[in-house]
Structures are given as C-alpha cells and as structure tokens.
Structure 1
Amino acid sequence: MSSTPNASRREFLRMASALSVAGTAAPFALNLAAMGSAAAQTAPGDYKALICLFMFGANDHANTVLATDSGSWSQYLSVRTTTDAGSIALPAVGAPGGVIPIVPSSTQAGRSFALHPNMVEMKSLFDGGRAAIVSNVGPLIMPTTLAQYKAASVPLPPKLFSHNDQQSLWQAYAPEGAAYGWGGRMGDLLAANNSNPIFTAISASGNAVFLAGKTINQYQVSASGAVPIGGLTGTLFGSSSASGAFKSIITGDSSNVFQKDYAAVTSRSINAQSLLSPAMAPAGGSGVPNPTQYTNPNTGALANNSLAIQLQTVARIIAGRSALGAKRQVFFVSLGGFDTHDFQKTAQADLLARLSHAIAYFDGVVGNLQGADLRQQVTLFTASDFGRTFTSNGDGTDHGWGSHHFVVGGAVKGGNIYGDFPVTGLKHNLDVGSGSLLPQFSVDQYGATLANWFGLSATQINDVFPNIVNFTTRNIGFLG
C-alpha cells in the first residue's frame, strides 16, 4: 500500500470490494457502493441498462457463426474434420443436427451464413431484428495489418493468448491486475444521474474488473438478491440484544482510519441492502417469471440454466429502477467452461444451448417487465477471453485472438452481420497462425459503440476508451 493516508484508504476500499463474496455472512461480504461524486452529464429522462455477458474460457467463434457458401464450407470441412480423436466439424445445413442458416440484411458477396445448431433461439432473435453479430472483435491498440503484426512494427496488446490477461484486457484495457474497467468507468461518468449511485454497477456473477470504476465500486448480488450481513436481526447466540450490540460494533465510529472506513462501508452495505431488497421484483408469481429449464443437447435431459437465473436477477433489479432512482445501470453476468481444448463438440454444444436459451428468456422478460416493454432501453452484449484457432488439435481448439460476438436488444440494428466476415480457412490476410484471427474491430470500437448509445459524449468516450483516438471508425453502427 501507499504510505499516504488517502492512498491507503482507497486501496483498503478496493481490497474490501474484491473480498466481498456473494452469500458470505462475514463482514467482508460487503456490497460496495459509489464512494464519491461522479462527474456526469445532465440526468437523462429515460432509463438505460447495459449488460455484459462474459463467456469465460474463450468461446470458439468458428463453430458459433459460420460461413456456409460452398467455398467456405469446403475449407471448413477440410480443416475441422480430423481423423484422430474425432471431428470438431458440425453437420451442414439441412443435415440432421445441422447448422442453422441465417440471412443478414446486408449481403456479403458470395457468402452465406449459419449459427451453431443449438442456437435456435438466437436465430429467432436475429431474424426478428433484435440481435446482431459483430464479426472478429478483439483487443487492438491501433489498426494493425498482418505484416505489421509479424514485424511488431506497431504497438500490440500485451500478453496475447493468455486467459487471465486477455480477460482483463477485454474488460479493463490492461493485463491481469488492472485497477478499473470500462463498465465501471462509464458508471463513474453517469452515476450522478442515479438517486442512489450505489446501484450503478451491479454484478450477478461475483467480482468483475469490468465494473470497477475510479470513483464507484461494483455492487454484488446473488440469485436471491442483495446479500445481507448475518446476525443483525433477531436473536444472536441466544440473546435478543446481541444483534444490536453486534451492529454497534461493526458500524461504530473510531479514531483509527481503517476502522472508521470499515464502519462506514459496513453502514452503507446495510443501508443498500435495506433499499434493494424491497425494490427488487420478486422471482416468479406476479414478479419476474422464473426461467424454464433448458434441454441439454448431449443428454436430452432438462436442467436449470444458471445464466438464465443471473439474468432473472438483473431483470428483477431493472424492475425496481424507479424505487431505486436509477437512470443508468451497468450489469455483469457470466458463463464459464469455454476453454475447449478437448471434447469441444459436446462441451460447446451444451454451453451455446445455455447461452441461447438464457438470452431469449431475458429478451422475453424485458419485453414484458411488469407490463412494460423495455427492450429499447436494455442492451446485452457478449464478450470472451479471445477466439480460438481454426485448426483442430484433434478434439478441440487452442487459444486465438479475434472472435465473433452478439449484441441483443430493441435498440440493436439487428438481423445483420457487422464487418467483413473473415475468409474461412488458413493462410489468409488475417491469419496470425493456425487460423487465429487478427481482429478487424478493436474492443475500444465495440465498447465505444455501446457507450454512445448509453449516453456518453464523444469526450467521455475518449476518456473511457483510451485507444479509440487511433481508429477512424469510432462507431461500428450496430445500435440506433
């Protein structure tokens, strides 16, 4: 820690935030709030929510969105059909269990496209104009050609192909250890629009650097909502008065700077929980409908979908936006297991079935959230560590770079693929090795497009996305 009191105080608060774990009753399970005044523009009269859905482990984009024209499909089969541990190639359009055709509104000459066979719901959203595909996104510092990459003649993102570092780079501009993310920075700038800034950046999936701001800290919730500190109500150790004494101990004032901060954070946590719990719509019944179970494509069995439950929690909080005084909120949800070096065909089938099912559930809920259609005001986007190699290692794929992503919502200019879809195969002008893609769009461009819709000014976008000044195209155009 720094030797200065102010720096020590900030570091203590950040450490406390990192240590808060949903479901823990210990005092460190504190869902932290905004700790200072946020510089923001005039409060908007409407509400908007942005949801980051992170696919941990690195989703294989080449079996998620596919080019199916004859030339592309021939290359796809030649590379992804293996003879040792088993093929990772998917069945063709029209074959049993085959990929699902989609028709983008903007044609790409000579190309046709499809989605993974288990993304039936996502096809419906795409066809309905509420889902778009952004092709080949990844971290870049500036526009980079293959020749420049090979010669290292331009600045390149650090620690490429490393899980932890690229997860952080996607969320927070820097490798593992980054202090704040672009979701949190947007929260910094817009938190003053909210009556209770504590509810600006909310994670339903544990601590996420994406939501860490300079002046605000993320508030973490569990599937049941706000996480209370245990022992503050009722009897404690058989005594009716012990809970009051316990509360006095953990919230009492002190001359010690760390004890004082600890008590202040604890008090804010208690107050926040008392506000959020009654504001959230209940799960099921007259509240937010419970998600149906999804069908595991490998077993045919019905199962609960943890991602859908996270999104239900998000919807329950959005339903309480008026009671919370919220105008702008950033959320984080996640699904893990995408590091498919082995058993990719079965593992990804289940993961993408869950992803498609959960997103469609959330779209339906937001379309009729306690009688209101909020689809125009809520945008969900996907992110992941990186894409994967186009070549197979026998039964899976290895670490890559660029990847295709989905954006879903009523404000999305859906039914389209944004960007020139990469050549299918190997040894083309975006192949940095084994078919791993040199990104066409940077994470900064992807995020800046979302931030523009969310209400940030051009100056604020420059502040949040430091590399955006290096790119001529600041807005990819997938949002109205």
Structure 2
Amino acid sequence: MFSRRAFVRGGALALVGTAAVPGFLVRSVMAEQATAQANGKKLVVLFQRGAADGLNIVVPYKEKNYYAMRPSIALQPNEVLDLDGQFGFHPAMAPLLPLFKQGHLAAIHAVGSPDTTRSHFDAQDYMESGTPGIKSTQDGWLNRALQAERVDPKAMSAFRAVALGTQVPRTLQGRLPAVAVANVANFSVGGQGAQGVAASAAFQAMYAGTNDRILSGEGQETFEAVRMLKATDPAHYQPANGVVYPNSPFANNLKQIAQLMKANLGVEAAFADIGDWDTHQAQGSVNGRLSNRLKEFSEAIAAFWNDMGQDAEHITLITMSEFGRTARQNGTGGTDHGHGNVMFVLGGSIKGGKVYGQWPGLDDHQLNEGRDLAITTDFRQVLGEAAYHALGTRDLSSVFPGGAVTPAQFLRFA
C-alpha cells in the first residue's frame, strides 16, 4: 500500500530511485520546445566544489613573486600552455586550449565574492544564492534568472531547468520547478524492476484518483515528463562526431546534459558539479592532485563541446568555484583557503581567446590580507552577463538583489 503521506512532502512529489522531480509542475510538458528554442540558447553552469586553485589553473607566469611564493608547486614558463604572453594554462588543460585559440573559450581572472569568508559551506551558499553575506536567501540565482526571463508561462517545459545529481542544488532551488536527474537512462517514478513497476502504477493511480488539483494535475505532468524522456531511448545514446567521454562521474553528467539538450525537451539551464578541488596537501605542479582533477575537468568539457556539434553555437557554459587558494604554498605542498580565483565562459558566440578582468598583481603589497589573490571582478557580474546573454534575463536586480549588476559593468565577453 502506498499512502500520499509517505510520498508527498510540502506539495512536492518524491521519486524513488535516481531522480527527483517537483510535483508542482503546472505547465504542459508538451510545449517542451517553445521556451528554449524561442531564442535557441541554453546555459550550462558547472561548480568546482572545494575551492580550485586559479593561480595554477591560469598561471600568471610573468609574476616573479608567483615563483617566490610557490617554490615547489609553481609551473615554469616552459611548462604552461601560453595564452597571451602573460598567462598560461596548466598543461593538463590541453584539451581546452584549441577552444581558447578558436575564440570560443574565455577566462576571467581575479574574480570572486566580496564576502571574506573562508568557509566552504558559507562561500558555496553565497555563490549559489547570489547574495554574498546573506544567509537568509531562500532561492538560487539561476532559478531567479529563469523567473526573470520574458517567456509565456504556458510554454514552459518540465525539463526547463535540470540538475545532474540526486537533488536540486542550491543554485536552482526556488519558485520555478527544477528537475534533478542522477541517471538519464533510469529516470523513472518508482525505481527499477517489478517492484518499481508496481510502485509507479501505484503512484499514478494515487495521483489520478485524488481530488487535489496539485496532486492530480501536476503529478500527471511528472509522469508525462518521464514518458517523454524514455521515448528518447537514453540508454542507447551515441555521442556525435566520434566523441568518447572520459570514464568519470563528471564526464557522464556532461554526457547526459548533451543527451537532454539534443532530445529537444526544452532544456534552458543545466547544472552539474565536480568536487575534490580542496588541495591542502600534495597539490603538485605539472603532475599531482590538481593536475589529475584538471585533466578530468578539461577532457569532459571538450568532449561535451564536440558532442554538441553545431548546437554548441547556442550554448553558453560557465564555471565557478567558491573561492581561490592562498598565493603561498603551505608546509605540506598544498595551498589553503584563499580569495580571488578564475572562472571560464565557453560558447559559440563568446568572445574568447582572451583573459578578462583587471589583474591586481602578486607583489606582497598587492595581495588580499597579505596572502591571497585580490578580487577585481565580482562573480555576480560574470553570472549576470551570462544570464543576460544566454537566457535573455533583463531584470538583473531581481536575480542579484543588492549586487548592482548592470550591463554597464559587463566585461563584454558575450
């Protein structure tokens, strides 16, 4: 026996197994293409959890103090992949170098949050909510950006906002429904096997028989969304252009984002994250923990880009991490929690091939609190420009309240 109480909490439908879909989907999923394809653009947001070391990702190899502060983990000028005579990629980022050279990939350096916290939890929360220093914010910046978009509410798809994972991340939480999918091939209500089929049938009968409008109407929308996705035969998806994704959870998430976007389900915004950037020990230089993580990160993004083919022209992909790391290495061959960092923006219409942002320098007197890369670009300006360009979001004051995010302050990478 299945009871409504067991599976409904706060008006939301809980899916057993590998996905979580809100139960308040009040729009028809049969209009799945209307919103995203109205302008043909999509936004992909990637979060590097753990505070990535921007100084060893986009290396300021002309800075003498960089080498003085990092005697064993600095990358030498002949080891970096030169970008512009001042900065160079870590060699593990070789898969992304062609995209930079072709003008599709841009880097923004010395970017971050004006809040000074060195707590992973708080910094991630502030960056995902888009309200640094304010813990009371209930929703995420990307959810608000989608709400601020000028679209017909009757033309919204159940898959308009998708996160790859077991739950909707802070970035996408809010009034607008978002879908969390851990495994596209197993996306279902009720789990797998005979028991899953029975659970799904019980769910559907329960929602069809109720007099509650939210449960009967929106519950059926959820089942329709599942049927739509199943019809794309996700288990037999073949990447285009001979692309082979790396065998990693992050790469698999990007592969599934590509599947969802190609299925024309109305995806406008997609989110995925990749952890293990907290390199307090044995960070390494050319090789080591950071190098391994960058290799996976770069190969997966390059595979996604090539898989999307001509559709990549309509995609804007942006990366973010809660803060950077100390300019000086520590006593265990790593780096500690810092401040300024680097973000990437990738897209067919991005003005790439450039490192954006005002570089503050790495001399001792130029460091934040005498220890970190200083911030010259507020991360909200970067996210705001991406949302403005990719989603058509114009009311940026509602997306980043109190952030003074305006087109006049854009970096003009889009």
| Coarse TM-score class (shorter-chain normalised) | 0.7 to 0.9
Residue of structure 2 in register with 1:180 after alignment: 139
SS of equivalent to 2:335: coil
2:377, 2:199 → 1: CA distance?
58
2:411, 2:162 → 1: CA distance?
26
SS of equivalent to 1:45: helix
Residue of structure 2 in register with 1:393 after alignment: 330
- For the structure 1 residues 288 and 33, does the alpha-carbon distance in structure 2 shift closer, same or farther, using more than 3 Å as the test? farther
Residue of structure 1 in register with 2:20 after alignment: 30
180-189 or 309-318: which moved more? Answer: 180-189
- CA-CA distance at 1:76 after TM superposition: 1.3
Residue of structure 1 in register with 2:248 after alignment: 305
Contact kept? 2:158, 2:222, Cα under 8 Å: no
Residue of structure 2 in register with 1:124 after alignment: 98
Residue of structure 2 in register with 1:469 after alignment: 404
Write out aligned runs for 1:90-101 (5 A): 90=75, 92-94=76-78, 98-101=79-82
**Residue 57 (str. 1) matches residue 50 (str. 2):** yes
Amino acid at match of 1:384: S
**Residue 358 (str. 1) matches residue 351 (str. 2):** no
- For the structure 1 residues 178 and 251, does the alpha-carbon distance in structure 2 shift closer, same or farther, using more than 3 Å as the test? farther
Residue of structure 2 in register with 1:148 after alignment: none
Larger Rg: 1
- For the structure 1 residues 101 and 376, does the alpha-carbon distance in structure 2 shift closer, same or farther, using more than 3 Å as the test? same
Residue of structure 2 in register with 1:334 after alignment: 273
SS of equivalent to 1:344: coil
2:190, 2:318 → 1: CA distance?
35
1:54, 1:307 → 2: CA distance?
11
Residue of structure 2 in register with 1:102 after alignment: 83
1:228, 1:131 → 2: CA distance?
36
Residue of structure 1 in register with 2:123 after alignment: 166
Residue of structure 1 in register with 2:170 after alignment: 209
- CA-CA distance at 1:121 after TM superposition: 1.1
Candidates 80, 87, 96, aligned match of 2:70? 80
Write out aligned runs for 1:417-436 (5 A): 417-428=355-366, 431-436=367-372
Contact kept? 1:33, 1:219, Cα under 8 Å: no
**Residue 139 (str. 1) matches residue 129 (str. 2):** no
1:248, 1:201 → 2: CA distance?
27
- For the structure 1 residues 115 and 235, does the alpha-carbon distance in structure 2 shift closer, same or farther, using more than 3 Å as the test? closer
SS of equivalent to 2:91: coil
- For the structure 1 residues 102 and 161, does the alpha-carbon distance in structure 2 shift closer, same or farther, using more than 3 Å as the test? same
Amino acid at match of 1:401: H
Q: TM-score, normalised on structure 2?
A: 0.84
1:438, 1:200 → 2: CA distance?
36
1:477, 1:314 → 2: CA distance?
27
Aligned-residue Cα RMSD (Å) equals: 3.2
Contact kept? 2:328, 2:371, Cα under 8 Å: yes
- For the structure 1 residues 288 and 181, does the alpha-carbon distance in structure 2 shift closer, same or farther, using more than 3 Å as the test? farther
Q: Deviations over 1:364-398 (max 9, x none)?
A: 1112xxxxx11220011100111111111122111
SS of equivalent to 1:478: coil
- For the structure 1 residues 390 and 251, does the alpha-carbon distance in structure 2 shift closer, same or farther, using more than 3 Å as the test? farther
260-269 or 307-316: which moved more? Answer: 260-269
Identity %: 26
- For the structure 1 residues 200 and 242, does the alpha-carbon distance in structure 2 shift closer, same or farther, using more than 3 Å as the test? closer
Residue of structure 2 in register with 1:224 after alignment: 184
Residue of structure 2 in register with 1:412 after alignment: 350
- CA-CA distance at 1:280 after TM superposition: 6.4
Q: What runs of 5+ residues in structure 1 fail to find an aligned partner?
A: 1-9, 82-86, 104-110, 141-156, 294-303, 368-372
2:199, 2:259 → 1: CA distance?
33
Contact kept? 1:178, 1:209, Cα under 8 Å: no
- For the structure 1 residues 456 and 79, does the alpha-carbon distance in structure 2 shift closer, same or farther, using more than 3 Å as the test? same
2:157, 2:104 → 1: CA distance?
30
2:323, 2:154 → 1: CA distance?
34
2:15, 2:253 → 1: CA distance?
18
Residue of structure 2 in register with 1:146 after alignment: none
Contact kept? 1:280, 1:316, Cα under 8 Å: no
SS of equivalent to 2:294: helix
Q: How many residues align?
A: 393
- CA-CA distance at 1:470 after TM superposition: 6.5
Write out aligned runs for 1:141-156 (5 A): none
- CA-CA distance at 1:244 after TM superposition: 4.1
Write out aligned runs for 1:14-25 (5 A): 16=12, 23-24=17-18
2:199, 2:106 → 1: CA distance?
55
- CA-CA distance at 1:245 after TM superposition: 4.8
Residue of structure 2 in register with 1:3 after alignment: none
1:231, 1:393 → 2: CA distance?
47
Q: Deviations over 1:69-106 (max 9, x none)?
A: 2xx1x31111111xxxxx2222x133xxx221112xxx
